Amino acid sequence: MSATPETGPEARILTVLPRGRHAAPRPVVREAQRARMLSAMLQAVGDKGYARVAVADVIERAGVSRKTFYEQFANKDDCFLAAYDASVDELLAKIDEALEAIAPDWLAAHRAAVETYLDTLAAGPAFAKALLIEVLGAGPEALSRRAAVEERFAEQLENVHRRAREDIPEIPEVPPHTFLAAVGAVNELVTAHVLEHGAQTLPELADAIVDVQLALLVGRQVAAELASLAG
């Protein structure tokens, strides 16, 4: 079943107040309106694709006026980038939490991080499409933001590798580009799955992603030994 806007990351960037007039202070109202617009942008992009989305789609879904939209965003691109940033920040924070929660068991923490990543995308199909696919056609600034996000994912993997070497000293060092390559490999697997099957079944990829990342980070032989122990 497809996730509703209330369950996915595109909703959890929100601090929602009811639409229409109410007695909340203006800054609170403004923040709630912004949050609704960010959510609406991701939902519209998920439904129509970035190129086909107009400001009118966002304000209709968010229940705000055009004037309200332009009080906070310069244009459609500005709103999309804000929605992308907010959702990615939440996703990365959740992965960090998963990594820390099971420390110092680096292998279990790594798997929990992978599962958190996939579960979050599965719960927010619109966000998954924006993160993996639509950002590619949203202009140079969006591509720059995407590259920065991939660097942040690579840093998380570098931390996993460091913990693994502390636990298993025979694991060799790897060059820095390995971590970014591992991020790219995951992107390809996840994007292909979303295009072919949709985001809702992404958790099925957990074993494949853990296998690919461990092969790159600790070597195929150690990865196979770890897999046999886990099995």
Whether the CB-CB separation of 49 and 13 falls below 8 Å is answered with no
How confident is the model over 155-176, as pLDDT tens digits?
A: 999 999 999 999 888 888 999 9
| Band (150; pLDDT cuts 50, 70, 90) | very high
Mutual angle of helices 206-218 and 140-167, in 10-degree steps: 70
Token code pair at residue 41 = 């942008």
Report H helices in the chain: 9-12, 26-48, 55-62, 66-72, 76-101, 106-123, 125-132, 140-167, 177-197, 206-218, 220-230
Q: Write down the pLDDT at residue 221.
A: 82
Average pLDDT for the chain? 88
What Rg do the C-alpha atoms of the chain give, in angstroms? Answer: 19
Q: Write down the pLDDT at residue 181.
A: 95
pTM: 0.84
Local structure of 139: helix, strand or coil: coil
How confident is the model over 163-217, as pLDDT tens digits?
A: 999 988 888 899 999 999 999 999 999 999 999 999 999 999 999 999 999 999 8
